[in-house]
Structure 1
Amino acid sequence: MRLRHIEVFHAIMRTGSLSKAAELLCVSQPAVSKVLAHAERSVGLTLFNRVHGRLQPTREAELLFSETQKLQANLDSIRDLARNLALQPEGHLRIGCLPSLGLSLIPSAVQAFRAAYPRVSLKIQTRHTDELLNALLTRELDLGVALNPPARPGIASVELGRTPVVCVGPRDERGDEGPLALESFVAGDWIGIGKVDPLGELIGNAFEALGLDGHLPAVEAQTWHVARALAARGIGRALLDELTAKSGAEAVSVRPVAPPLSIGVFAVWRDGGTASQAGNAFVDVLRGRFA
């Protein structure tokens, strides 16, 4: 007997009629009759006799019903599990992110996610962009979060939102509350972050478009949080994404820049990999941080 045969057979045994079995299964009565007939042909047995217009199970049907109850119970459990997983994901999710996002965006997202999905355990790793993409391809990670990740074969992505690029300086720095022109930024001491990552490349392209690429930084720090720490001590101003600017321990001043710049925050995963309910739920939580 096939699983569909067993499902219809159990519905008839439980309800005692074809019409009620059809109602239970949300199908038509002719469909139930057709499946029952096919089941009887496949096993070579008569499962029900009609007695005074009602179905009477044969002895063979009663024996089959007794033996298949465990299987039907397991099928019901699988349906319940699938339904519950759709409503309340569970399992284990391995998430990778940039170090700066690990101190800014990710903690609040994890807090909200755990409150909504307490049965999902999480493993958080911080990696730089290229390392993160490689870890996805080698299945070390299920999901990654990065700023403007470069296109990579085998990697799919979706933009969660954008974060502005801001000028970071010491906490007691005074100045206009309005945006700081990039020409004014490079006229003083400033801290560069190089061009080896998407944020540095974005800033470098903006300088080049304005003809400012001839100005050299006083200090170059290819780690964003080092650049922030240097700016906090007044060594120079730094251009960083707002998430990084507001995530460090030392207090700093944060000011918009002109022309305005922003960079996308992306969720990334292995293209063609099996999407999980937990992974989709975490992406939704991340997207909500930018709502």
Structure 2
Amino acid sequence: MRLRHIEVFHAVMRTGSLSKAAELLCVSQPAVSKVLAHAERSAGLMLFNRVHGRLQPTREAELLFSETQKLQANLDSIRDLARNLALQPEGHLRIGCLPSLGLSVIPSAVEAFRVAYPRVSMRIQTRHTEELLNALLTRELDLAVALSPPARPGIASVELGRTPVVCVGPPADDREDTDDQPTTLQAVVEGDWISIGDADPLGEMIGNALEALGLDGRAPSVEAHTWHVARALAARGIGHALLDELTASSGAEAVSVRPLAPPLSVGVFALWRDGGLSSKAGNAFVDVLRARFA
């Protein structure tokens, strides 16, 4: 079967009719019918039976559909890549970042950047780390900003600076005798504490630090895989959360923030496709970000 055969076959399988498949592919119904018939002759298989005027996939069609879904997904990714390449990002900078950075570092950086480059339009998106990496590879984004992202082939990165890991609790903790006084990892996990899991770089780093101290057996009271949810829970006194200082300072609800002793910190990184940024504006925005941490 040729790629066009697979494309039409998938459209018919997804929509259940020749007319709807034609609408999906933006072609005529006779064209879909002709390609589908050619696909059946080429494969030597009957792919559909007509039952009461409707197309009913054969067992062979269901097996073929299951095996070709990955190929169809790859074709869709290629189309996305081609469309994004056509956007010509020289005068349009597409930036992705973690939600916490979108509320802390990014707004001031965009403000400074717009003073120097008022004619460059910008699009800001907040996504999780893996989504940012995938969007860079498919050229949906020109630049991304994340905390200690994992290495990924095809992605280059530079550390802009570091932000401390802090203990976040309810505002009632913010008393004169404890204000700004360091606490320890052991003190945090021996009380009610809120974990962010270990599925992202920050959570993994905290987990490694606890393991090094022999504290990894301490079960959290609550596990919240979203950093801002962990912060909101801590604000209500449900427990104490270990978060980066940027997230700790970016929420709407009042919290107490205490440093850790010994200190922990996490890197803030700018990321782009391997081979360098494609525009002067992209490099300039990285310089602005770096200045935020200087």
Give the stretch that moved more between structures: 110-119 or 257-266. 110-119
Is it true that 1:271 corresponds to 2:274 in the alignment?
yes
**Which structure's CA Rg is the greater one?**
1
% same residue: 81
Is it true that 1:204 corresponds to 2:207 in the alignment?
yes
**For the residues of structure 1 that align with 2:276 and 2:211, how far apart are their CA atoms?**
39
Q: Number of matched residues?
A: 203
1:275 deviation in Å?
2.8
Q: Which residue of 2 aligns with 1:235?
A: 238
- 3-state SS in 1 of match to 2:96: strand
- 3-state SS in 1 of match to 2:172: coil
Q: Which residue of 2 aligns with 1:195?
A: 198
User: Counterpart amino acid of 2:169?
Assistant: G
Whether the 8 Å CA contact 2:277–2:283 is kept in 1: the answer is no
After superposition, the Cα gap between the structure-2 partners of 1:142 and 1:90, relative to the gap in structure 1 and judged at 3 Å, is closer
**For the residues of structure 2 that align with 1:111 and 1:288, how far apart are their CA atoms?**
13
Q: Which residue of 1 aligns with 2:283?
A: 280
User: Counterpart amino acid of 1:230?
Assistant: L
Q: Runs in 1 of length 4+ with deviation above 4 angstroms?
A: none
**For the residues of structure 1 that align with 2:192 and 2:211, how far apart are their CA atoms?**
18
Is it true that 1:140 corresponds to 2:143 in the alignment?
no
1:276 deviation in Å?
1.0
**For the residues of structure 2 that align with 1:90 and 1:139, how far apart are their CA atoms?**
13
**For the residues of structure 1 that align with 2:223 and 2:116, how far apart are their CA atoms?**
42
After superposition, the Cα gap between the structure-2 partners of 1:114 and 1:90, relative to the gap in structure 1 and judged at 3 Å, is farther
Is it true that 1:185 corresponds to 2:201 in the alignment?
no
- 3-state SS in 2 of match to 1:186: helix
- 3-state SS in 1 of match to 2:247: helix
Whether the 8 Å CA contact 2:159–2:268 is kept in 1: the answer is yes
Q: Which runs of 5+ in 2 are unaligned?
A: 1-88
Is it true that 1:225 corresponds to 2:222 in the alignment?
no
User: Counterpart amino acid of 2:160?
Assistant: L
Under a length normalisation based on structure 2, what TM-score does the superposition of the two structures give?
Answer: 0.67
User: Counterpart amino acid of 1:182?
Assistant: L
1:180 deviation in Å?
0.2
Is it true that 1:169 corresponds to 2:172 in the alignment?
no
Could you report, residue by residue, the CA deviation over 1:241-269 in whole angstroms, capped at 9, with x for unpaired residues? 00000000011111101121000000000
Q: Which runs of 5+ in 1 are unaligned?
A: 1-88
**For the residues of structure 1 that align with 2:222 and 2:100, how far apart are their CA atoms?**
20
